[in-house]
Amino acid sequence: MTETKIYIGLNDAQTLNQKFDTEKYKHILKQVCFSYHIPFSVSVTEGGYFHENGDFTQENTLIITLIDVEDNIITEIAKDLCVFFNQESVLVTSGEVKAYFIKESL
């Protein structure tokens, strides 16, 4: 199985500040996933990165985790999120994982 993660920073590309509450961004992200009819997980973390000019930025970041979603759909979602969240780019990572379900009943 393939696990893909999309990292979306929440600072606006122009103002370099977060415009809305993190919960609002999570709601938008969930709506995007619902529209593609794919299962997903969302987490919030804090991160930082260096701009090409050497400036350092810290920001809240949403991470969406997708399992076995086709590459073309991942690309479409990443592009949508760039637009909706006004980002210069989003980071996509992907790799093989061993995944399985365990079921147990009382």
Q: Please tell me the total count of domains within the chain.
A: 1
pLDDT on residue 6: 97
Q: What is the C-alpha end-to-end distance of the chain, expressed in Å?
A: 29
At residue 20, does pLDDT exceed 90? yes
Examine residue 102 and state whether it is found in any structural domain, yes or no.
Answer: no
Helix (H) or strand (E) holding 102: none
pLDDT on residue 99: 87
What is the C-alpha to C-alpha distance for residues 100 and 12, in angstroms, rounded to an integer?
37
CATH number at residue 18: 3.30.70.120
The CA–CA distances, whole Å, from 14 to 10, 18, 26, 56, 86 equal 12, 10, 20, 15, 8
Examine residue 80 and state whether it is found in any structural domain, yes or no.
Answer: yes
pLDDT on residue 51: 80
Domain residue limits at 65: 2-96
pLDDT on residue 48: 87
Query: With bands split at pLDDT 50, 70 and 90, how would you rate the model's confidence at 77?
Result: very high
Examine residue 11 and state whether it is found in any structural domain, yes or no.
Answer: yes
CA atoms within 13 A on the CB side of 53: 2
Query: With bands split at pLDDT 50, 70 and 90, how would you rate the model's confidence at 49?
Result: confident
Examine residue 7 and state whether it is found in any structural domain, yes or no.
Answer: yes
Structure tokens at 57: 């930025």
Task: Specify whether the CB–CB gap between 71 and 2 falls below 8 A.
Answer: no
